[in-house]
Amino acid sequence: MNKIEHIGIAVKELGLSIPLFEQLLNTPCYKTEEVASEGVKTAFFQQGPNKIELLEAASENSPIGKFIAKKGEGIHHIAFDVDNIEAEMKRLAALGFELLNTVPKPGADNKLVCFLHPKSTNGVLIELCQEIR
């Protein structure tokens, strides 16, 4: 793993949260995107080398919708940048980490992604991200 790629924060409404985070971080949202396969709408902020991803549920039955219904708004996941997502998935699976998907899938911000189940990472949802080349 190279670095923290971003921190994902579940929010109820991007329309309310984008202006709040623009003020908080003193920087504009640089990108919004919908990932239909995950039922999520995203907004990204860059502050120096750090990125924040806001996640709004596109439906109540989506993973983010279920997360917000159960836990409310807040930190959803930490994403790590990797050079070779398939090799990293294989390495972590061999060490006993539970992968939530068996092959990388397209994610937001031009990334291939894989999530690790929180029960194998001390309760933290971890996302692996590789830039699509």
This prediction has a pTM of 0.93
- Rounded-to-integer distance, Cα 95 and Cα 74, Å: 29
Q: For 11-63, what is each residue's pLDDT tens digit?
A: 999 999 999 999 999 999 999 999 998 999 999 999 989 999 999 999 999 99
- For residues 15 and 56, the answer to whether their CB atoms sit within 8 Å is no
Closest of 132, 108, 83 to residue 6, by C-alpha: 108
